[in-house]
Chain A
Amino acid sequence: NAGVMQNPRHLVRRRGQEARLRCSPMKGHSHVYWYRQLPEEGLKFMVYLQKENIIDESGMPKERFSAEFPKEGPSILRIQQVVRGDSAAYFCASSPTGPGDGYTFGSGTRLTVV
């Protein structure tokens, strides 16, 4: 049973380009969460999605960032016109039953903006 799969593991983008981060939840999990870990800081909640629905995006920056979780395929976190401050590790987590304890994290995508 594969865990939460994130790709790519590492992503380098120049300032102004777009970054697309993908997350495939564990089999049977329909709830996805995205967290960001900035250097020397703790993990920060960004967005919570269910299939075809954004449930809570209160942690997501208002501009340039968007997320989706389509009926088919992985969840996508999209960052448009990246800036150096977007450099961070982005983690996806999934759970089978919604908010609760111990959801499973992926290994993350490390985004570097040059």
Chain B
Amino acid sequence: EDQVTQSPEALRLQEGESSSLNCSYTVSGLRGLFWYRQDPGKGPEFLFTLYSAGEEKEKERLKATLTKKESFLHITAPKPEDSATYLCAVQPISSGSARQLTFGSGTQLTVLP
């Protein structure tokens, strides 16, 4: 069974304190790995897709990396507006015609001013 585990569950940082969020996954074959950001009361907002080990993508203070077993979301010099829940999801090769995503439970990030 495909599984996605995110750690830590919650993370509090001071503004400017860089850190990383972890997403470990178990799939029979990976079509893609996705990162989303979710604010309270809102739907997930797409950040990145990674397709192969060694791939990296960046957007402002965020950088996502991928290995064969896990992905990291690095946050450099975070600001309070980066506070949100960050969701990781995998799209297994076995996901059929829907190519549905299997989500982790998320990491709730709080950045203190």
Interface residues of A (CB under 8 A from B): 4, 6, 33, 35, 40-45, 48, 55-56, 58-59, 91, 93, 99-108
Could you jot down 15 A-B contacts, CB within 8 Å? A42-B4, A42-B103, A43-B103, A55-B97, A56-B96, A91-B44, A99-B95, A99-B99, A100-B99, A101-B34, A101-B46, A105-B43, A105-B45, A106-B43, A107-B43
**Distance in angstroms between the alpha carbons of A65 and B31 in the assembled complex:** 29
Q: In the complex, which residue of chain A has the Cβ closest to the Cβ of B47?
A: A102
Q: Is the CB of B46 within 8 A of A59?
A: no
**Distance in angstroms between the alpha carbons of A41 and B4 in the assembled complex:** 12
**Distance in angstroms between the alpha carbons of A40 and B91 in the assembled complex:** 21
Chain A residues with CB below 8 A from B21, complex form: none
Q: Is the CB of B43 within 8 A of A59?
A: no
Task: A56-B97, A107-B41 given; name 10 further pairs at CB < 8 Å.
Answer: A42-B87, A42-B104, A45-B101, A55-B97, A55-B98, A91-B43, A101-B46, A102-B46, A107-B42, A108-B43
Chain B residues with CB below 8 A from A59, complex form: 100
B39, chain A: closest CB distance, angstroms: 10
**Distance in angstroms between the alpha carbons of A100 and B34 in the assembled complex:** 11
User: Which B residues from 35 to 53 make CB contacts under 8 A with A?
Assistant: 36, 41-46, 49
Chain B residues with CB below 8 A from A35, complex form: 101, 103
Q: In the complex, which residue of chain B has the Cβ closest to the Cβ of A98?
A: B99
Query: Would you call B83 an interface residue if the criterion is a C-beta within 8 Å of the partner chain's C-beta atoms?
Result: no
Chain B residues with CB below 8 A from A105, complex form: 36, 43-46
Query: Would you call B20 an interface residue if the criterion is a C-beta within 8 Å of the partner chain's C-beta atoms?
Result: no
Closest CB pairs A-B (n = 8): A99-B99, A105-B43, A56-B98, A45-B100, A48-B98, A42-B103, A101-B49, A102-B46
Chain B residues with CB below 8 A from A33, complex form: 98, 100
**Distance in angstroms between the alpha carbons of A36 and B28 in the assembled complex:** 24
**Distance in angstroms between the alpha carbons of A35 and B44 in the assembled complex:** 11
Q: Is the CB of A42 within 8 A of B105?
A: yes
A65, chain B: closest CB distance, angstroms: 16
Q: Which of B41, B43, B91, B101 contacts A4 (CB 8 A)?
A: B43
Query: Would you call B106 an interface residue if the criterion is a C-beta within 8 Å of the partner chain's C-beta atoms?
Result: yes
